Structure 1
Amino acid sequence: MKKIIFLSLIPLFLVNNVFANNQKEHIDITGISSATFNSSFCYSLRIEYYPNGQIKEQGCQGHYNAAGIFIGNWYEYDLSGMTVRMNYYHPDEFGKDYKIITIYDKHGKVLTKKIYNYDNLYETEEEELNEIPQ
């Protein structure tokens, strides 16, 4: 029954994202159809705007292991609408959780791309990782 409810919300999430700013259609709604206790899923797309109407930040508020958290891709933009930062959040069991933070220059080229543990998920200290945990 819960799967049917979540599946029926997909069109609402997609319509909200498309009408908010048709140039920013790269939100990844992860695992809505396979939501179980230990899997992550998106339940609310979040979009924050600058006073000039440009999107400041957008991403998916999700759920993992009974906790509300960021999941998937979160994007941050400058006042002109250029992507300045992208955070990918991957909730998983302790030790397999991670996030990837990518910083862009004003021309859209990658300045840095680093992997960290998902510190907010298990309330731990943020540590840079050498590789994606398996």
Structure 2
Amino acid sequence: MKKMIILLPIFLFIVCHSFANSVKENFDPYAISLIVSSNSNTPFCYSFLIDYYPNGQVKEKGCQGHYNATGIFVGNWYEYDLLGMLIRTRYYHPDEFGKDYKIIITYDKNGKVLTKKIFNYSDLYETEDVEINEIPK
């Protein structure tokens, strides 16, 4: 019961903040699950982070998470320019070695996709970034 009381304000903050932003974004509720599982290999969000430019615009936001006893990025992360326009999204999918990946999408100033690349999740297993052709299964 204590976990639910503690997690409720965090959940409400994430939901309210995601709807307050005028840029269309898709938070993946499964990628940033707030439910702490007894299985330590299930990624979950424990801290929603927002970084700002000196002019007050959001620079970056996303979820610091936990997977397999490691504090790492999980789910969707968003990067913005000084004017508040979305310039890059990153999706982090921690999993066992070989099934881990991240997707990085860059946008032009009109919001159109410039690049979409899939990489192994190099930070998780301290390997080098390697671009892959498809999402591992």
Q: Provide TM-score, normalisation by structure 2.
A: 0.85
Secondary structure of 2:127 counterpart: coil
Task: For residue 16 of structure 1, report the CA deviation from its aligned partner.
Answer: 5.9
CA RMSD of aligned residues (A): 2.3
Match of 1:32 in 2: 34
Residue pair 2:11, 2:34 contacting (<8 A) in 1 also: no
Q: Against the structure 1 CA distance between its residues 88 and 19, is the aligned structure 2 distance closer, same or farther, given a 3 Å change threshold?
A: closer
Q: Against the structure 1 CA distance between its residues 21 and 56, is the aligned structure 2 distance closer, same or farther, given a 3 Å change threshold?
A: farther
Identical positions, percent: 61
In 1, the alpha carbon distance for the partners of 2:9 and 2:118 equals 32
Task: For residue 41 of structure 1, report the CA deviation from its aligned partner.
Answer: 0.1
Secondary structure of 1:44 counterpart: strand
Q: Report how many residues are paired.
A: 132
Matched to 2:108, the amino acid is D
Secondary structure of 2:73 counterpart: strand
Q: Provide TM-score, normalisation by structure 1.
A: 0.87
Task: For residue 9 of structure 1, report the CA deviation from its aligned partner.
Answer: 1.4
Match of 2:16 in 1: 18
Task: For residue 11 of structure 1, report the CA deviation from its aligned partner.
Answer: 2.5
Match of 1:115 in 2: 118
In 2, the alpha carbon distance for the partners of 1:85 and 1:38 equals 28
Task: For residue 18 of structure 1, report the CA deviation from its aligned partner.
Answer: 3.2
Q: Against the structure 1 CA distance between its residues 65 and 31, is the aligned structure 2 distance closer, same or farther, given a 3 Å change threshold?
A: same
Could you tell me which runs of 5 or more consecutive residues in structure 2 were left unpaired when the two chains were aligned.
Answer: none
Q: Against the structure 1 CA distance between its residues 89 and 48, is the aligned structure 2 distance closer, same or farther, given a 3 Å change threshold?
A: same
Residue pair 2:7, 2:34 contacting (<8 A) in 1 also: no
Task: For residue 52 of structure 1, report the CA deviation from its aligned partner.
Answer: 1.0
Residue pair 1:115, 1:130 contacting (<8 A) in 2 also: yes
1:93-108 aligned at under 5 Å gives the runs 93-108=96-111
